[in-house]
Amino acid sequence: MKRRAICLAALTTILCCLAASDQPAVACTGIRVKPKDGSVIVARTLEFAADLQSNIIVIPRATASVGTAPGDKPGLLWKSKYGIAGANGFGMPVIVDGLNEKGLGIGIFYFPGYAQYQEVKAEDAAKTIAPWELPVYLLGTCANVEEVVQAVGSIRVGGVVQKDMGYVPPCHYVVHDASGRCVVLEYVGGQRKIHDNPLGVITNSPAFDWHLTNLCNYVNLSVNNVPPVDIAGLKLPSFGQGSGMLGLPGDFTPPSRFIRAVAFSQSALPVATAHEGVLQAFHLLNQFDIPKGAARGVDNGKTMADYTLWTSASDLTNHRYYFRTFDNSRIRMIDLTKMDLDAAEIKTISMAGQEVIEDLSSKAK
């Protein structure tokens, strides 16, 4: 009992130290699944310490938009060519995560400590957008990754304060298309960097190329159990299933989540169809669901606790957007092919809803 009390006291001390950390928690995770039918499914969690007030929006073709330059000045003007569906934030006509009718999918991921956007001179304002406006611009004007790479070369992304947040949001972006190609777009040191992403995985800081290098520290991981080891005649067997993954990091930090996301998405048994791929993606992301209070930080003297606000999956082949929320784990879906993409205005679909628990007592036989 005394030893147990000491262990509990130590655990309490550790948890208090974690809660007192001066770094706010940031914990979004993105993966990709490729079923045997050739479809491409991309999925992610969205964690934050405050409600982003997300809903699903459907942005029709020919929607006119104006970007924001530093100093809250008018920026880039554009008109969308393609219809878009996805999750927004703060009721704004922007996409935090979503896809377009061509099967292009883009998501914003937090990138603190590393994001530094491009310099914007007075003459650059007309080709400038804010960090949170980049996905909706690219989804509205590009059909695939190749076009995205070309498009970002002709615009500037500036350090613009997001009014609801009160600061310039540090972001990087994952871009997928229906061919299965994926890149990560980052702004570091004021320079645009584009990384090929063959794994389709993304988390947060540090920079994406660092995460790829860090994978080398886990080359020993395997889906197969480790055989017994003989040491001086003493046979040491592993404890049950999973010994090949011994050493897999289990914490919520971005480097650890990146390793787990690669391990789980690459080791999952192949599924046959897009429908099965969507369900598999949600199962994989169960490993990254964060309850309130497990990941905390201090921001301006206030303790903040990240949690999983919502989880989404985009079927880039069949143009469907799936989601579930913290309050409702039932998977819901928007079929972009069934929406009026020539509508006169943006449509909003609420993500709100409470969990429904089905009582099966009366079905007992």
Which tokens hold the place of 316? 């880039």
Query: Using DSSP, how many helices (H) and how many strands (E) does the chain show?
Result: 6, 20
Whether the CB-CB separation of 329 and 348 falls below 8 Å is answered with no
194 Cβ contact list (under 8 Å, min separation 6) = 149, 152, 183, 184, 185, 186
Instruction: Just list the catalytic residues.
Output: 28
Distances (CA, A) of 231 to 234, 239, 346, 351: 5, 17, 67, 57
Give the span between the Cα atoms of 263 and 203, in whole angstroms.
Answer: 14
Whether the CB-CB separation of 43 and 29 falls below 8 Å is answered with no
Pairing of strands 156-157, 128-129: parallel
Give the span between the Cα atoms of 193 and 180, in whole angstroms.
Answer: 20
Q: What secondary structure does DSSP assign to 168-196, as a single string?
A: ---EEEEEE-TTS-EEEEEEETTEEEEEE
Torsion of CA 228, 221, 30, 28, to 10 degrees: 80
Give the H or E element holding residue 79.
Answer: strand 73-79
Whether the CB-CB separation of 246 and 237 falls below 8 Å is answered with no
Rounded to the nearest 10 degrees, the angle between the axes of helix 274-285 and helix 254-267 is 150
Give the span between the Cα atoms of 86 and 55, in whole angstroms.
Answer: 8
Whether the CB-CB separation of 228 and 238 falls below 8 Å is answered with yes
